[in-house]
Chains A and B, each alone.
Chain A
């Protein structure tokens, strides 16, 4: 039983490691989950398996929510989903899956975005060059 429970927790997230600024990149996600719809019966005993689905997937980039989806029992088992994102600056991508029991799990990835000149686009603004020295 413990092995089965652990199986429901495996998550996958596939992103390109680097991108050019303004490019639209594809993010592929997959969660290994039974997605029990709550209407299936055990063929021998006739007992109904209780409902257990992932009902919320949130995608955040640098802490800001860019994409969200609500799922119901009609999504297939081991749900695969791929969506698009615009690369503006390099940063941290987090995808969070929430169960209908309230259990949440997340996976993160770092995407590095380069300028046309080959410079990395940093997701913060620096007013002066000297401000870095002050911090150091």
Chain B
């Protein structure tokens, strides 16, 4: 009789505690997956089959997440883009980094972002001292006329940033 009345058995209490711990941990792990965090990359590589609208706030968050409050070094990276692009499907851009590619003085990653695209991240470039000069030409897509941002993360931790405004007459759907 006494066993039936006892609701809080040891097993039930343990199950309840484990459930609480799991719920708490999942809550914290989901809170870490804000937009602009590296988890967004996983979302991008996911086979996307729906239309999304551009979100400049999120683009700014991505830029903030790359820079992480570090001081921006001037004249480190320069970006060359046309003032007016007739076709948004192919906008030729090129960038270069002012550095001697020796020791720690080379860019680890260079990011290219277009702020008014629905997916602001366009490309990341990983360099090494063997690539004698960190300069790349590439062709990108732009939906509307907006700023292109290039951010260079050096191996020693310093950051450089530049902007260039491009006027697009016919936008691409990207």
Contacts and interface: CB of A to CB of B under 8 A. Distances in A.
Contacts of A79: 138-139
B173 A70 contact: no
A75 interface: yes
Interface string A57-72: 0000100111111111
Nearest to A69: B125
Given A37-B174, A51-B47, A69 B123 contact: yes
A119 interface: no
A3 interface: no
B124 interface: yes
Interface of A: 24, 37-41, 48, 50-51, 55, 61, 64-77, 79-88, 100
Given A48-B49, A100-B47, A66 B135 contact: no
Given A39-B118, A48-B49, A81-B138, A76 B131 contact: no
A124 to B, nearest CB: 17
Given A39-B173, A67-B126, A86-B130, A81 B137 contact: yes
B121 A74 contact: yes
Contacts, number: 118
A102 B144 CA distance: 31
B128 A75 contact: no
Interface residues of B, number: 40
B141 A37 contact: yes
Given A39-B173, A61-B130, A83-B135, A72 B49 contact: no
A59 to B, nearest CB: 8
A73 B89 CA distance: 12
A71 B118 CA distance: 15
B144 to A, nearest CB: 13
Contact of B131 (A51, A74, A83, A100): A83
Contacts of B134: 84
